[in-house]
Amino acid sequence: SAGVLFVHVLEREHFKGEFPPYPKPGDSSNDPITFNTNLMGYPDRPGWLRYIQRTSHSDGVLYGSPTAEHVGKATIIEIIAYNRRTFETARHNLVINIMSTEEYPLPYQAEFYIKNMNVEEMLASEVLGDFLGAVKNVWQPERLNAVNITSALDRGGRVPLPINNLKEGVYVMVGADVQFSSCLREVENSQNQLRCSQEMEPVISCDKKFRAQFDIDWCKINLVDITKMIMIHSNRPDPGTGVLPDIGGYNPPPESLKSRDFFADFLITLAVPSAVAMVLFSVLGYSMCCRREGVDKRNMQTPDIQLVHHSSIQKSTKELRSMSKNREISWPLSTLPVFSQSEEVVPPIHPDNYETTSMPLMQTQTGWGVQ
């Protein structure tokens, strides 16, 4: 029925008869079997239908909640069972007929977040029945149905750590035909809202009726009154049949193509940039090679006193360089002790190198003594 939770279990025992028996008797239940489900003729399932199988040794579960737009449409689900021991497959078809119901949609819907359950555990008929019984005991409606079940991972939740048997959590939405009870309304008072904002558990009087089996996060409960919701209708265009209209035959291009002249493209791409580069190169070469004044013209325009100074500096520089070439010593003389208090010449630290010195650093130092 539309608006009511649909659950179908893909039992591994149902498909084992189509695979060869296990070589060892009594071990046929250990065959790893996985399922692939899709809408016939399409690569995936309908948008309202989900599938989960935790391991290859557990049963698969199809679940979801169809809406009114799916009523009257026969949904054929193609189920392919894959035996990972023998690499064989078995194919079955599941036909789902969606019917309308006068109770859809139930006007008052409440969504609970259960922290200590995984989605496949909650989909078990006995566990879901226990939860609906607890909700009915608190709510006291005449009609109560499970509308939808969603894993917390599908809502952006994080995968729990594999310690302390942590669960991923599950959202369960139920619908009823009467107003919300005072117990469910307690989460909306200011004191509980303040506790939720401070990440503290709110005080709910009926929590003890769930606590024995279900750990509910009351801060995440969502109460929806459909009768007070404003329906917004959008005028969407008719999607049509999906078949393109007949607009005539296809006219391919002719086999003989017209020749194209690429001379203009050549001029724009290569010739023009090359000509500009040659002009710039010629101007630069003329400026650097043909416009030089020369040393003679420079000397003629320089005052004589500057030339004399420059010549004397250059001559002194050459003389110092020639003197430094004749000195074959690794340590400068300025760093070596030359004179002593007794006016005797003290041999340097490196006497061999000192004896090879042909000329001191400054000739005026010879004959001087320290008093």
* pLDDT tens digit sequence for 167-201: 889 999 999 888 998 888 998 889 989 999 998 88
* pLDDT tens digit sequence for 234-258: 566 676 676 767 777 777 777 777 7
* pLDDT tens digit sequence for 61-108: 999 988 888 888 788 999 999 988 888 889 999 999 988 877 667 889
Over the range 95-131, which residues count as b (16 or more CB within 10 Å of their CB) and which as e?
ebebeeeeebbbbbbbbbbbbebbbbebbeeebbeeb
Comparing 133-137, 143-147, 204-208, 287-291, the range with the smallest average pLDDT is: 287-291
Torsional sign, CA 40, 41, 44, 48: negative
User: Is the distance from CB of 192 to CB of 186 less than 8 angstroms?
Assistant: yes
Rounded Cα–Cα distance for residues 28 and 21 (Å): 6
Other Cβ atoms less than 10 A from the Cβ of 88: the count is: 12
Q: For 19-43, what is the mean pLDDT?
A: 78
Whose CA is closest to 56, among 85, 77, 96?
Answer: 85
Other Cβ atoms less than 10 A from the Cβ of 318: the count is: 10
pLDDT band at 370 (very low <50, low <70, confident <90, very high): very low
Q: Which two tokens stand for residue 311?
A: 């010549």
Rounded Cα–Cα distance for residues 108 and 258 (Å): 73
Q: For 112-116, what is the mean pLDDT?
A: 92
User: Is the distance from CB of 187 to CB of 218 less than 8 angstroms?
Assistant: yes
Rounded Cα–Cα distance for residues 92 and 78 (Å): 6
pLDDT band at 358 (very low <50, low <70, confident <90, very high): very low
Given a cut of 50, is residue 368 above it in pLDDT? no
Q: What is the mean pLDDT of the chain?
A: 81
User: Is the distance from CB of 186 to CB of 148 less than 8 angstroms?
Assistant: no
DSSP 177: S
Q: Which two tokens stand for residue 190?
A: 């200011």
Q: For 41-65, what is the mean pLDDT?
A: 90
- Helix (H/G/I), strand (E/B), else coil: 94: strand
Q: Which two tokens stand for residue 124?
A: 């078990």
